[in-house]
Amino acid sequence: MEVVRLPRVRTVIAIAAALTMTAAACAGQRPPEPPTAVEPPGREALAEAHWAYQGEEGPQHWGSLSPEFATCESGRAQSPVDLTAPDDVDLADLEFGYGSSTLKIIDNGHTIRADVQPGNTLTIDGTRFELAQFHFHAPSEHTIDGASSPMELHLVHLGPNGAIAVVAVMIVEGARHAALAAVWDNLPAGRDAPAAAPRPVDLNDLLPTNRDDYRYAGSLTTPPCTEGVAWNILVTPIAMSTDQIAAFTARYPADNRPLEPLNGRHVVLDRAS
Ligand SMILES: [Zn+2]
C-alpha cells in the first residue's frame, strides 16, 4: 500500500515518531531517536507541535499546527470513517499469531497505550506485521452504520518498509474484561511514570471469537495523520464493565477524531471462514 507524499526514509521516521512522540512532544521534549542516521527536515517542528482534541489545537486545526501535520488537512484518504454498505468480498482471513506479553502501560497525554513484547504477528494476504502497541479511544472513532460505541481498541502493527496495519475492536458496556483488567488496575500515576502489568497478558483475549472484519485504506487518526494505513475493523465487539470504561473516560472523556469523508474509497466486509 502506498504511503502518499513522503519518501521512504521520512515515512519510517514519521511513523516511528507518530507511535512514540506524543508524550515527549507535549512535554516539550525531543522524542526518542529513530533507528537511522538521517535527520529529516522539519523534525524539530514535529517534536514541538502540540495537538489536542478540543479548542485551538483540536482536529479542525491539526493541519495547520505543523508542516508535518499537513496531511491531516490535505489528505484524501483519512481515518476514521463510517462503515456503511460495505462490498461483501471473500478475502484471505486475518491470521493472528498472538501470544502472551508483558505490558508497559503509558499515559501519553492523548490516550492510554500498552507497549507489547516482540513476537506477536498479524498476517494479511501473506504480508506479515508485528504488533507494537495497543491503545484506546472514547467514544469510538469508527462508526458502523452510523452508530458509535463507548470505546474503540486499536492494535497497531508494523510491517515491511514502514507499512502499518491497525486492527480495531469496538468496546461495548457489559461484563468485566479480565485480560484488560491488567491495564485498568495498573494505570500509570502520570505521563512520565509508565506502569507495568504484574503478569503477562494473553493478547488473544483482546479479540472477539468472530473475526469478520471491515477493511479499507486510511490513515493514522492522530497527527501526523500519515496515510497508507491498512484498517481492519472487527464487526464483533468486546465488552468491558462500566467501571473499566469509567477508568479510561475519567482521564480521556473524548479522544476521538471526528469522521472523515470516504472520497470514493470502498469499504469491504470480509466474512472469516
Ligand atoms: Zn488509535
- Determine which one of 50, 110, 137, 157 is catalytic: 110
Sign of the four-CA dihedral 136, 140, 144, 149? positive
Q: How many residues does the chain have?
A: 273
Compute the distance between CA of residue 217 and CA of residue 183 in angstroms, rounded to an integer. Answer: 29
Q: Which residues contact 196 (CB under 8 A, 6 or more apart)?
A: 102, 103, 104, 105, 186
Q: In which residue are the cell numbers 491531516 written?
A: 72
Q: pTM of the full predicted structure?
A: 0.84
Residue 200 predicted with pLDDT over 60 = yes
Helix, coil or strand: residue 202: strand
Rounded to the nearest angstrom, the distance between the alpha carbon of 6 and the centre of ligand 1 is 21
Rounded to the nearest angstrom, the distance between the alpha carbon of 166 and the centre of ligand 1 is 8
Determine whether 142 is an active site residue. Answer: no
Question: pLDDT tens-digit profile of 184-195?
Answer: 999 999 888 999
Q: What is the per-residue pLDDT for 35?
A: 41
Rounded to the nearest angstrom, the distance between the alpha carbon of 63 and the centre of ligand 1 is 18
Which DSSP letter does residue 53 get?
A: S
- The one-letter code for the residue type at 35 is P
Alpha helices in the chain (DSSP H): 8-26, 43-48, 62-65, 71-74, 181-184, 242-249
Question: pLDDT tens-digit profile of 59-68?
Answer: 999 999 999 9
Rounded to the nearest angstrom, the distance between the alpha carbon of 134 and the centre of ligand 1 is 8
Rounded to the nearest angstrom, the distance between the alpha carbon of 72 and the centre of ligand 1 is 14
Q: Measuring CA to CA, which residue among 110, 115, 109 is closest to residue 192? A: 109
User: What is the average pLDDT score of the chain?
Assistant: 87
Question: pLDDT tens-digit profile of 136-147?
Answer: 999 999 999 999
Strand 213-219, strand 143-144: pairing: unpaired
